[in-house]
Structure 1
Amino acid sequence: MNVVAFLFSFVLFSFGIWVMSVAFQVVGFEAPVFFSGIVAVSLSFAIPFHVLGKADGA
Structure 2
Amino acid sequence: MMFAISLLLFLAGMYLFALAFVVTSFQGLIFVAGILVISLAVFIPVHILRKS
Question: Please, which runs of 5 or more residues in structure 1 have no aligned partner?
Answer: none
Aligned residue in 1 for 2:16: 19
Question: Please, which runs of 5 or more residues in structure 2 have no aligned partner?
Answer: none
Structure exhibiting the larger radius of gyration computed from Cα positions: 1
The answer to which structure, 1 or 2, has the higher relative contact order (CA under 8 A, 6+ apart) is 2
Q: How many residues are treated as equivalent by the alignment? A: 52
Give me the whole-angstrom Cα distance separating, in 2, the residues matched to 1:28 and 1:12: 23
RMSD: 0.7
Runs of 4+ in 1 over 3 A off after TM superposition: none
Give, in angstroms, the shift of residue 20 of structure 1: 0.5
Aligned to 1:28, what secondary structure does the other structure show? coil
Q: TM-score, normalised by structure 1?
A: 0.85
Q: Does 1:7 align with 2:4?
A: yes
Q: TM-score, normalised by structure 2?
A: 0.94
Give, in angstroms, the shift of residue 54 of structure 1: 1.0
